[in-house]
């Protein structure tokens, strides 16, 4: 039973380019959460999705950032026109259902904007 | 406040001694409190969690206590070992399903 998969593990983008981060939840999990972690800091909630639905995007910047979790395929976090401040580790987590259940984390994608 | 307050930010203990990390939350409706361990460059991993209907939970050398009245919860690690060195995060799960994280505690185990 594979864990949460994220790719790429490392992504380098120049300012103004687009970044696409992918997350495949654990088998049987239909809830996905995206977090951002800056160096030496905790994780900041960005967005919570179920299949084909955004449940809560209150932690996501209103501009340049978007997320989706289609019926088929991985969840995608998309950052348009990246800026240096977007450099961070982006983790996704999945859980089997909503409520107070453990979230299983992927290995993260480390985005560097040059 | 909006966030979970976590103290201390850095904790250095002698190998074999105990370590205690404390968190304070603000949303009285929160009812799930996990603790995660994150080693350098790796993903956070759940080490223990507690739900609001219990006051204490123990798993070998790790225990968590919860005081709902004071809105405090704490992580206790006994007989610390070098492999316990990591950053530890507390979190609260709010009623809207957001997981709100503390800023982390860097635990250093001195040999």
Distance, in angstroms, between A99 CA and closest chain B CA?
6
Give the confidence band of A1 by pLDDT, cuts at 50, 70, 90. low
A11-20, B8-17, B42-51: segment of lowest average pLDDT: B42-51
A100 and B46 within 8 Å at the Cβ level: the answer is no
* CB A54 within 8 Å of CB A47: yes
Predicted local distance difference test score (pLDDT) of residue B93 = 87
Of residues A45, A56, A102, nearest to B49 (C-beta)? A102
Q: Do B99 and A59 touch (CB under 8 A)?
A: no
- Which residue shows structure tokens 């209150």? A58
Tens digits of per-residue pLDDT, A45-87?
899 999 889 998 989 999 999 999 999 999 999 999 999 999 9
Tell me whether A55 touches chain B (CB under 8 Å). Answer: yes
* Mean pLDDT, residues B19-35: 92
Question: Residue A103 and residue B99: Cβ atoms within 8 Å?
Answer: yes
Whether residues A105 and B45 touch (CB distance < 8 A) is answered with yes
pLDDT attached to residue B56: 94
What is the per-residue pLDDT for B1?
Answer: 46
pLDDT in the model for residue A42: 83
How high is the pLDDT of residue A99? 63
Which residue would you say has higher pLDDT here, A2 or A61?
A61
Which of these, B32, B100, B105, lies nearest to B68 by C-alpha position?
B32
Residue B47's alpha-carbon distances to B60, B76, B91, in angstroms, are: 11, 12, 12
pLDDT given at position B104: 93
Query: Is A105 a residue whose pLDDT tops 50?
Result: yes
Q: B32-84 pLDDT, tens per residue?
A: 999 999 998 899 999 999 988 889 999 999 999 999 999 999 999 999 999 99
pLDDT reading at A6 higher than 90:
yes
What are the angstrom distances between the C-alpha of B62 and each of A21, A46, A81, B2, B84? 34, 30, 44, 27, 11
Is it the case that residue B25 has pLDDT exceeding 90? yes
pLDDT in tens, A86-102: 999 999 999 887 665 78
Q: Which residues of A touch B59 (CB under 8 A)?
A: none
**What is the C-alpha separation between A59 and A98, in angstroms, rounded?**
18
Contacts of B82 (CB under 8 A, 6+ apart): B15, B109, B111
% of chain B surpassing 70 pLDDT: 95
What integer best gives the mean pLDDT of chain B? 92
Beta pairing partners, B14: B110
């Amino acid at each position: 039973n594979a864990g949460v998969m994220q790719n790429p593990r490392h992504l380098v983008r120049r300012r103004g380019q687009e970044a696409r981060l992918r997350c495949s939840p654990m088998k049987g999990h239909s809830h996905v959460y995206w977090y951002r972690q800056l160096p030496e800091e905790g994780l900041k909630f960005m967005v919570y999705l179920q299949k084909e639905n955004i449940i809560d995007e209150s932690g996501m910047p209103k501009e340049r950032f978007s997320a989706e979790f289609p019926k088929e395929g991985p969840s995608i976090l998309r950052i348009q026109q990246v800026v240096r401040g977007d450099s961070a580790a982006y983790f996704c987590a999945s859980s089997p259902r909503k409520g107070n259940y453990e979230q299983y984390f992927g290995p993260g994608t480390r985005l560097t904007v040059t | 406040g909006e966030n979970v307050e976590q103290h201390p930010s850095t904790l250095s203990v002698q190998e074999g001694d105990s370590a205690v990390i404390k968190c304070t939350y603000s949303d009285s409706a929160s009812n799930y409190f996990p603790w995660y361990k994150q080693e350098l460059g790796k993903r956070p991993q759940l080490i223990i969690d507690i739900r609001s209907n219990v006051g204490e939970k123990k798993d070998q050398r790790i225990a968590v206590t919860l005081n709902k009245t004071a809105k405090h919860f704490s992580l206790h690690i006994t007989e610390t070992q070098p492999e316990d060195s990591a950053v530890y995060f507390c979190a609260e799960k709010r009623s809207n399903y957001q997981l709100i994280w503390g800023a982390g505690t860097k635990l250093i185990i001195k040999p």
